[in-house]
A and B are shown apart, each in its own frame.
Chain A
């Protein structure tokens, strides 16, 4: 009986064993892609910070990563209040705080000073300027007042310069002039210079703070790599112009003039020598100059410096330009928003100004650009606001992994 059984098994199971082996091998080989994927949620995610409040609005200004991997988002709430949102490394909400009077209208970005993030804001009554520190150890995120600047009225923009000091652009309503204040790294004032405005522009200034629907003009400040020249984009004479000033005392060197409020520069970053990466607006058109020569000692018209027109960019769009090192490539990254209400990043090669890639964010519901920053893992954090269900302005956070960012330059 056993002999018969053995013969039978040998005779009949051979082809089946072969078939089963083949199938199992096939499973093993082709089943490799059935893994869960190797991208951790913290490397790549999209989050929208929602709530059930019907009539609250948010407008994010900046995002930075803290030492513990969490993110801090600086935003306005209801146009004028300061709103700080902290989320964990996966983008999940940790805490938030809304600061109304007197620390309203936060400026532009978060600055890392001695391991803590700081930001400037305005007193909504006296119109003076405050420096506040984000208190990460406080569960309520209540910021601490670091310093007051009673002489800096209507603060419009702040930036950090190569000597770790700060520039604050403001508007002196009494003297009708644009002011630039240089602060040392310890926040003591180094100097202040003013640039005469020959007509009353306070209405435009107020529109920026109140969010009344009029155009919010692209005020900004910056510096060359060596810190010898500072620049500011604001009102000068009769136009909204880009001014180049001496980094040691604020003396005016040259201008790139706009045409009233209709033509001007919307973003700029210094590359090398006389080369700048710029974007400009002319009525409802937008142009990008990723690598343009600028005569900083001249008195030129910004409408004549050329550039590539981008018809897809939203008229009056906010534009942010930064130099980033992406996987060893010196890249110039422009962030803005399109007429189709998407956020977009344009990535250029800094060496020759060629467009490498464009990356779009958002679909269906409107998105407006906020800001972007490199993250500790080599990825990119992009914030903006979206109108959830087409109507509720909420903060949107896109986290790109290092792999995705690197793929932008390939």
Chain B
């Protein structure tokens, strides 16, 4: 059973305790298994600290030290991590199918983008890591990332001579973009302790796998003599052609790494800033269904994304 100390309580807010507990549990399991394995092989006896000391001899003074073993004591590390992400779409130029001949008073014609906390996606990452110096390593992290972003707008038509005549339509648009990405990161482990905070930064390149758009229409129709509220059809469309095939940007992030046996458990946060417009302008007006059905065309935009991941890296 895990009991949070004051130190841990300071660093981990309440809603993260479950995750931290899970991570620490895994560490304990791997720690025990790691010691048993060492005993079986007979190569290195005792604690993971001995393992590290042995590696220090093997690689000289440039290999990691004080890390309690794991990847810090070897040059190569491979692993996997996954988690959730939150995306903020940053429109540079906004476009609309509608152009208003009379300034609307009851219509939200311009898209109102959702906050990043409402745009949750996920990512799964394979990690290949190589230690260059003591605490400095380089890492290639092929990632499958699923980003979501959404916005809404609404339209109104009113009969100013007969208040009983009116129609309101509410549109919610949710886009899901699936990318395969290749982030290349330079990482620095700040401390040489079993629990090591780290920071990293670099760039990434993403290749679009698919793009889906879900449109949800609801409304209120007062034109039939009574108020009729309706939740219209939700339609999902493939909109691959509306997006450029590539996106690239920069990443900065950090986290903590816990070395247990041959494994490093990591909890990290990354912030990505897209540097290119992800909308294919040449195809903006080519989708008849989007334009004529939901009166929607996409704005020029770049994506910003905050991701939280947990994973494990094994030193080899």
Distance between Cα atoms of A8 and B130 in the complex (Å) = 13
A38: nearest residue on chain B (CB-CB)? B282
- Contacting residues, chain B, for A5 (C-beta < 8 A): 62
Q: Which residues of chain A have C-beta atoms less than 8 A from B292's C-beta?
A: 362-365, 367, 386
Residues of B within 8 A of A54 (CB): 157-160, 165-167, 223
Whose C-beta in chain A lies nearest to the C-beta of B99? A93
User: In the complex where A16-B130, A20-B184, A48-B99 touch, is A39 in contact with B288 (Cβ < 8 A)?
Assistant: no
Q: Is the CB of A49 within 8 A of B101?
A: yes
| Cα–Cα distance between A389 and B156 once the two chains are bound (Å) | 10
Contact with A along B270-292 (1 / 0, CB 8 A): 00000011111111110011011
Interface stretch of the complex, out of A84-92, A156-164, A272-280, A347-355: A84-92
Name the contact of A23 in the complex, choosing from B140, B169, B276, B282 (C-beta under 8 A).
B140
Contact (Cβ within 8 A) B158 A52: yes
Residues of B within 8 A of A392 (CB): 157
Contact B244 A34 (CB under 8 A): yes
Residues on A with C-beta less than 8 A from B100 are: 49-51, 93
Contact of A55 among B107, B165, B300 (CB under 8 A): B165
Bound CA–CA A8/B105 (angstroms): 69
Complex-state Cα separation, A367 to B130, whole angstroms: 61
Complexed CA–CA distance, A8 and B134 (Å): 12
Which one of A24-32, A223-231, A319-327 is at the B interface? A24-32
Identify which of B15-23, B24-32, B188-196, B245-253 touches chain A. Answer: B245-253
Interface flag for B75 (CB, 8 Å): yes
B157 & A52 in contact (Cβ 8 Å cutoff) = yes
Mark each residue of chain A from 39 to 79: 1 if its CB lies under 8 Å from any CB of chain B, else 0: 10100111111111111000000000000000000000000
A37-B280, A49-B99, A363-B288 known; A389 vs B157 contact (CB < 8 Å): yes
> CB distance B289 to A52 under 8 Å?
no
Number of interface residues of A (CB under 8 A): 53
Q: CA A51 – CA B102 in complex, angstroms?
A: 6
Interchain CB contact (< 8 A) of A33 among B166, B182, B246, B285: B246
Chain B residues, Cβ within 8 Å of A26: 182, 205
Residue on A nearest B280 in the bound complex, by CB: A37
The residue from A12, A39, A87, A360 contacting B99, defined by CB atoms under 8 A apart: A87
Interface of B is mostly: mixed
Q: What CA separation (Å) do A277 and B108 show in the bound complex?
A: 47
B101 to chain A, nearest CB (A): 5
Give A342's nearest chain B residue, CB to CB: B288
Q: Which of B62, B101, B130, B159 has the most CB of A within 10 A?
A: B101
Closest A residue to B167 by beta carbon equals A389
Closest CB in chain A relative to B116 CB, distance in Å? 22
* Residues 126-160 of B at the A interface (beta carbon under 8 Å): 130, 132, 138, 140, 155-160
Q: Do B99 and A23 touch across chains, with their CB atoms under 8 A apart?
A: no
B201 to chain A, nearest CB (A): 15
The 9 closest A-B pairs by CB, nearest first: A37-B281, A364-B293, A34-B246, A54-B159, A363-B288, A363-B292, A51-B102, A37-B282, A39-B282
* Interfacial residues, chain B to chain A (CB-CB below 8 A): 60, 62, 75, 95, 97-102, 104-107, 130, 132, 138, 140, 155-160, 165-167, 169, 182, 184, 205, 207, 223, 244-248, 276-285, 288-289, 291-293, 295, 297, 300
Beyond A51-B101, A87-B99, 9 additional contacts (C-beta under 8 Å) are A37-B244, A47-B97, A49-B98, A52-B102, A52-B106, A52-B157, A54-B165, A93-B99, A363-B292
Which positions in A face B, CB cutoff 8 Å?
4-5, 8, 12-13, 16, 19-20, 23, 26-27, 30-39, 41, 44-55, 85, 87, 91-93, 96, 360-365, 367, 386, 388-389, 391-392, 398
10 A–B contacts, CB within 8 A, in A order: A16-B130, A27-B248, A33-B244, A34-B247, A35-B244, A35-B277, A50-B101, A53-B102, A53-B158, A55-B159
